[in-house]
Amino acid sequence: MALKATVFKAELQVSDLDRHYYQSHTLTLARHPSETDERMMVRLLAFALYASEDLTFGRGLSTEDEADLLEVGPDGTLLTWIDVGLPDERDLRKASHRARRAVVLTYGGKAVDVWWQQNRAALAAYGNLAVLRLSAEQSAALAALAARSMRLQCTVQEGVVWLGDEGRSVEIAVERLQG
């Protein structure tokens, strides 16, 4: 018998002073059985960083060739493709050709260093690709915020993110490796 996804609900209030975007979002996150709280919360952070009315979560880890988050314009144009983790360079090549903007939000400490050294030269060819990095400490702090029902506030100012609930707050300085 296959394990089912665990459903998490989040009320996310985004105040992005850099983009002048202020909106509340009611989100449903399906956490695949093989997904950790850390990865799920990094996906949530990616949503907060690129929040828009048209940004949605992809179908999940079990669906190949689909982003973790997608933004599709009203005319059906794929505007933004966002992957979380350490995706294969071939997948990022496809994403950069399909979407106007492609983003990868990496996390995982030393593994990111190895992945970046292996892929840096190839990824430099994709002008519409942004590669961002979270430290292992930051992604672990995000994981501590995970709960089945979350009410989160996110403020973005000058590239620094504050994400928190009623009792805790995490400060995140996302490092831009490319783009």
Query: Under a CB-based contact definition with an 8 Å cutoff, are residues 146 and 165 in contact?
Result: no
The answer to whether position 17 is within a domain reads no
The answer to whether position 138 is within a domain reads yes
pTM, whole model, 2 decimals?
Answer: 0.94
Q: Could you tell me the maximum CA-CA distance found in the chain, to the nearest angstrom?
A: 47
Those residues with Cβ within 8 angstroms of residue 64's Cβ, 6 or more apart along the chain or in another chain: none
Q: Which CATH number characterizes residue 85's domain?
A: 3.10.640.10
The answer to whether position 60 is within a domain reads yes
- The residue assigned the tokens 């850099």 is 18
Give 119-151 pLDDT, tens digit per residue.
999 999 999 999 999 999 999 999 999 999 999
The answer to whether position 167 is within a domain reads no
Count Cβ atoms below 10 Å from residue 49 Cβ, excluding itself.
Answer: 24
The answer to whether position 121 is within a domain reads yes
Total structural domains within the chain = 1
The answer to whether position 160 is within a domain reads no
By residue range, what is the domain housing residue 72?
34-150+172-178
The answer to whether position 120 is within a domain reads yes
The answer to whether position 142 is within a domain reads yes
- The residue assigned the tokens 């079990």 is 62
Give 70-110 pLDDT, tens digit per residue.
999 999 999 999 999 999 999 999 999 999 999 999 998 99
**Residue 2: pLDDT band with limits 50, 70, 90:** low
